[in-house]
Structure 1
Amino acid sequence: MITKLRLYQFRNITSLELPITKKSIVLYGENGSGKTNILEAISLFSVGKGLRNDSAFNMENITSAPKSGWSSTITLNGDLKLQTNLEPQLDSSLKRTAKIQGDNIRSHMQFSEWLHVLWITPETDQLFLDAPAKRRKFVDRFVYAKDKLHLKRVIKFESATRQRLKLLKSQQKPNEEWLTAIEQTIAEEGVALAFARYHLLQDLSKFQPQGKEEGILTSFTAKMDGPFEDLLSMGSSLKIEDAFRQKLFDNRVRDKESGITLFGPHRSDLNVTHHIKDMNAFQCSTGEQKILLLAMIISFMESVCFNNEQLTIFLLDDAMAHLDAHHRFVLFHRLIANQDKNFQAWFSGTDRYLFKDLEENADFFYVPGLHQKCNRPNKCTLSLERREDPRNYILN
């Protein structure tokens, strides 16, 4: 688990060090104090741009000297140090870098050998109302935590799809052998990623909490839905790949004219059904949608994280605000019951009382607004410590 977090010149934080002792961490304080910034700094140890999907250049502390960069460092189990930075270069530019034990690594993907990071943010609450691409990405992040090859499949599939469209739209007649080879790659990677999504969602349905002793959560069915999924019932992967490749061949003219690839797993959508109401998630109320998300998270914990040697970090940003006391208890109860498993959960919220069921099983940190105490913003060092009175903090 993460046993220490250090931030330097990140967002509104000039300097921060958090010593961690528990599997659950609660950051609480007023709006705008920087709680989400702390979670974002952890999310950057995943592939991509983090939970805000923002440019690294926008994460620099606005009170620091121009182009001074920033750093986020986590220590795992007291000895393994991972670091992601925006570092000044000799030519005065800034470059995103990643390090393990102080040594530069080629890609942030190498962090996945040690941990995987997933998050729920207020934006995630709109998942069932958002565009299908957002839901596919949500599922793919879950799959990636279980299968490290999945991200490479997605990248290869998307790259080959773009190459094919570029060839089809070119003025010259494309090389037939080259086009066929690209379609073969699309078929192989597309079928593999579709099956990975299928098996992940099957596991979620299988491992969802059941029974009154666990607290009654909304039961659900989750599956990928679309014309491509009809192929998955054909039998062997080779047969499905052949059928997909033939479909790509047949659609060349249509794809060229439309400018998009009309058939494939990239056109599928996540379909979640509320069992009790027999209703699609997008038709449910905001509260019901949040409970469905919570049920999926707990199922994922049960099916993957609690049986995985690799550390999984959950970041839940303001996720408790609209849950009733019962459903908060259900989530916290599952976390407490599985303290021996390889996961860690980070929560943020404005009110401490929302987390009272975690009182003896979490590190609580009060995050003050820097403007409250410091009249020298560019000189402030923020240090949070857990004490008897959790509202005690040091701000130099």
Structure 2
Amino acid sequence: MARMLLECSLSDKLCVVQGEQYAVIIVPTLLVGAFLILLGVILWLFIRGQRSQQQTSGLQGISPTPPSRDLSCKAAGLGGNVFLPLETSVESLLRATTPALAKLQVPREQLSDVLEQIHNGNCGAIYRAKMHSGDPRKSKSVVVKALREPAGLREVQDFLGQIQFRQYLGKHKNLVQLEGCCTEGLPLYMVLEDVAQGDLLSFLWTCRRDVMNMDGLLYDLTEKQVYHIGKQVLSALEFLQDKQLFHGDVAARNILIQGDLTAKLCGLGLAYEVHARGAISSAHTVPLKWLAPERLLLRPASIRGDIWSFGILLYEMVTLGAPPYPEVPPTRILQHLQRRKIMKRPSTCTHTMYNLMKSCWHWSEDSRPSPRKLRSRLEAAARTASDKAVLQVPELVVPELYAAVAGISVESLPTATLPSEDPQARNVYV
């Protein structure tokens, strides 16, 4: 074929040399071309795999959660886009969920006595009310969360999902309990346990004042009592972990306290989102100074992130409600942690307590203790902790200054919305 292309005879030696030159050129060219095609296929498969991984990255690193059994609610990525159920109206949706919530229904006439409005949020108002039964001696104070009207199909679906989520969780002594609901018709109510003493942050701030007791609650806090409260919070985190969930916003503002120092973890909005959608919505924000490094880096959250936040909670308690990292602006907290810097030991903190904090603040998630192991450490430390020396911080809290240092809004503070400094002035039941 080479000879024909060159138009030469078999006895022409020059033609043979040129034919061999063609072979030397064509064969490597074909090999290089085949290599480039193979390389292009490999690169295309790699890029395709990377895109697929990015689309599902929001669901990686989170323990699988049992689906909500009676509510059609699925997610599409990090945005938490919920596909609407087959029902096309609020009435049909309520009829579809009534059987699953039948045991929780509370007759509306039993909630007739509204004592006060606690909070008025974007989703609706929260009231303190009296719930009556057939026996007048068994009436009790409850918190009623009402869905704002008029509400669309998605808002109703989400409200019912929150009720079903609490039903799925069940009861735990260190979680705010679901008492019942009114969902057979509008308006929709969620009835929750009332913890009248208020949130832990307000309690810590009151401990700074020169008072011994108020409304029957002692306002002197000791190191031993800090361990007592901490163990209860860890018990609630263990419970969530057993359900393959995490809290996501452990802080003094999200803990309710009773007169006997029984702690109730609340603020389960993030746990509900993970349960229902498999990821945290971008609309749900948490103050930066309480977040673990992986959360600041927008990596998937886990119970070990709650352990980091628990260390911040210990700092809040021993300082009677001081904001964390007081010398670091909120927007610079990630750079501060990337230099492997942690908070210094407060003057009111023992070395034992500080070592527990530091164990929560390991950069690597795997180096932090589990809730169960950390609770055992707290129990051991409590045996030798002082029950006599009262924690003292002379300075009173200025809400505006605290908000600026902590990186939160003044309106979200427990004492900022009502001049009477009512500890129930913010929605801690969400």
Which structure is higher in RCO with an 8 Å CA cutoff and minimum separation 6?
1
Q: Answer whether TM exceeds 0.5 for this pair.
A: no
Instruction: Identify, as 1 or 2, the structure richer in strand.
Output: 1
Q: What is the TM-score with the length of structure 1 in the denominator?
A: 0.30
Q: What is the TM-score with the length of structure 2 in the denominator?
A: 0.28
